[in-house]
Structure 1
Amino acid sequence: MVGQNGNQYGNHSKLSDFQRTKPPSFSQVVGPLEADDWLRTIEKKLEISHTEEADKVPFATHNLEGAAAIWWDNAKAMWPPDDEITWDKFKDNFRKYHIPAGIMKVKQREFLALTQGNILVSEYLHKFNHLARYSLYDVATKESKIDRFLGGLNRHLRCRLNMFDFPDFQNLVNKALIAEREHKIVYNDHKRKFEPKKDGQPVQKARTW
């Protein structure tokens, strides 16, 4: 009896340790990778709380709610009795159900077509990092990630940066931000130089860049 109580208290203590990391709940998908975000966050919380392998699935699914909880109840009921429900198997089934392959392909095409356009480098970077998760193969190496980001930059930034070699992706981003700032300074100086004078006399019009 003491041993059983010890196990109960031990399991309760472990769950309390996990819950103290404030794991998020999950009920249904809104964005295509929201399920993946939840899974990654939960996995970090499990690591922080030093959760044992056998406890990962019950602790994680403790935070499923609504439609997701119903899905898991059905999945458990249909799970082969002689097949152990490991954490890796749970993650695989969770992703397959909540992240449809068709949506992943649409987002992958969106990433491959991404260009900076008229937005700032910082905004382009945000979109790039967000969509790159749908197309990991295309940014699998440092070189491929740099080439993809550089190729989507505005023409004037791309022309400035193409002559350089970049030791890593962050170095490219930093150089792109600097080049964008310098371009704005030059453009604004040029624009002020050709602005109409206060007396209203016509002057040469500034070129558009």
Structure 2
Amino acid sequence: MDLDQEGEPMKFLSYMRTLNTPLFSGVANPLDANDWIKRLEKNFDFCKCPTELKMDIAVRFLAGDAIHWWQKVERVSYMKKTWTEFKKGFKMRYLPPEARDSIEQHLIKLIQGSMSVREYESEFWRLLYFLLDDNDYNNNEKADIRRFIRGLRPDIRIHLISADFNRLTDVIRKAILIEENIQEEKMRKAATATFTFGSKAPCTDHASTSRKNKLGKKKNCLARGGHRVGPCTICPSAEVCYNFGNQDHISRNCKNVEDPVMPPTKRQALFAPASSSGNKDPVTGKQV
């Protein structure tokens, strides 16, 4: 073997590392095991790695329990050390038939819950791709469409359940649009509730429920459509003059009137202390 041939494994191993091929540590999750072997095969195809080198390179990306598994395999003298045998042994160890049954049940029971449609779609495809590699799986797109729709949230599912779809991708696209419309409607309603003119919420930031202007009329918030006085959720920092409604100052700083002080209320006049200067009784009008 010449030097160029001896350097081939290292060259392709370097290519695989450049492609960020992950290590496989022998996790119990069959989905992760399936993702790893698929990623390995895609990277091999991309760098055009020769078949006779694939097994030796794949072993360099094993770790933990997977290393121990391979060491046991190597001690079996009758097993052929080829890429095909490596994949067969790997699937028997980490992707057994019972794992396939578990994934299928997971797919059947999968629901959207708090996930977005895109997140739900991603998990659905991950499970489905695992099963599509199984020759025993009945690849029926109509059945997959029914499974996908059944797992959607009720407010989305109700718009799809009676429609007739032939492709799963069409269902997913429609579900995403419905979810976006629902979110936009929620935002619109929230904005309407916050900025509705004529709100009866109290507004205490720039008027008081007990204060009146000089004409004896209760002051309204002038900043947003004249809603009643009390806490204002729209213009909490506004300052309104109680005398003329201007928003650049408050009544005690008003320069538009000679005496901006508010007149006494009836209660203040009724219970005002009597003086010796001949004041009249506020009720009878007689001199006291």
TM range (shorter): 0.7 to 0.9
Task: Give the 3 Å change call, closer, same or farther, for CA 9–181 of structure 1 in structure 2.
Answer: closer
| In structure 2, distance between residues paired with 1:112 and 1:60 | 33
Q: Given the two structures, how large is their TM-score scaled by the length of structure 1?
A: 0.75
Of 106, 118, 123, the match for 1:127:
123
Shift of 1:97: 0.7
Of 33, 46, 51, the match for 1:35:
33
- Contact kept in structure 2, 1:142 and 1:168, CA below 8 Å: yes
Q: In terms of mean alpha carbon deviation, does 152-161 or 181-190 score higher?
A: 181-190
- Other-structure match for 2:201: 198
- Other-structure match for 2:49: 51
| In structure 2, distance between residues paired with 1:62 and 1:118 | 39
Higher relative helix content:
1
Using CA pairs below 8 Å that are at least 6 residues apart, which structure has the higher relative contact order? 1
Of 90, 93, 106, the match for 1:97:
93
| In structure 2, distance between residues paired with 1:47 and 1:105 | 29
Q: In terms of mean alpha carbon deviation, does 175-184 or 40-49 score higher?
A: 175-184
Partner SS, residue 144 of structure 2: helix
Partner SS, residue 75 of structure 2: helix
Q: In terms of mean alpha carbon deviation, does 99-108 or 131-140 score higher?
A: 131-140
Q: Given the two structures, how large is their TM-score scaled by the length of structure 2?
A: 0.57
Partner SS, residue 150 of structure 2: helix
Show structure 1 runs of 5+ residues with no match. 202-209
Shift of 1:94: 0.5
Identity, % of aligned positions: 24
Partner SS, residue 159 of structure 2: helix
- Contact kept in structure 1, 2:24 and 2:61, CA below 8 Å: yes
Larger Rg: 2
* TM superposition outliers: structure 1 runs of 4+ over 6 Å: none
- Other-structure match for 2:275: none
Task: Give the 3 Å change call, closer, same or farther, for CA 8–111 of structure 1 in structure 2.
Answer: same
Residue identity matched to 2:159? R
Shift of 1:51: 1.0
Residue identity matched to 2:127? L
Matched, 1:180 2:179: yes
Of 94, 112, 116, the match for 1:116:
112
Shift of 1:99: 3.1
